[in-house]
Amino acid sequence: MALSREDEAKISEVVSVLRRSRSILFITGAGVSADSGLPTYRGVGGLYGDEDAADGIPVEMAMAGRMLTISPEITWKHLSRIEQASRGARFNRAHEVIAEMERHFERVWVLTQNVDGFHRQAGSRNVIDIHGDCHELSCMGCEYHLTVRDYSGLEIPPRCPECGSVIRPDVVLFGEQLPIEKVRTLKEQLRNGFDCIFTVGTTSVFPYIAEPVISAKFGGIPTIEINPGVTEVSFAVDIRIRAGAAETLDAIWKRYRGE
């Protein structure tokens, strides 16, 4: 879909901001992976569907850390169903542009809620995947760890070959705490400061996702939102482009480079 004339004018504003910037924070959500064919699920990491889980169990219960502990077959049933629906997808132009910007600017970080791993696959190195990566699996009973391309071939639930305990994906399930190290990294980078902040493809419903944008706004740091819909931070951003992530970021990057 072509960008509107209004959006084109806003892209020029964004380019002006980028020309004055050396450090950038991208905050991304499920909308960034929409052009890869992944649904913009609600919930942690864009991982969970809007409908109740099968068997009459609400999705918040089926995909909760407690359920994984007491009935891992239920949680893994839905994890594998969701992973299978996304199997074969790959990163898109939005991920590529962010990775290219990281190589161009002095300092670029990505705070993503997505668990698909696409930012790193596209080449970004400074990634805080605050909700984890569904391709990384760990044993709940010992230190066994493995990386998988997809969940095909896994028994449900998968068991550790060393101790027999259930293996889980390294993602934050409902009711679980955010990883301490990743929260620490986020706080450290925010203390270092950024010259501008992008919020892309996220409704910003979680406080730790909205807070950097709100703080930047009131701190005089330029904020840019790329999202077709209205979000929790739309009222606060300086520049709001109501369009898709891939086409918008590509257009911004091309104009910045004079293409």
Tell me the catalytic residues. 131
Say how far apart CA 217 and CA 236 lie, in whole Å: 6
Say how far apart CA 172 and CA 179 lie, in whole Å: 8
Dihedral angle sign, alpha carbons of residues 151, 154, 157, 158: negative
Tokens of 128: 């805080």
Tokens of 166: 């259930």
Contact 14, 224 (CB under 8 A): yes
Tokens of 20: 């004055």
Q: Which residues contact 17 (CB under 8 A, 6 or more apart)?
A: 196, 222, 224, 239
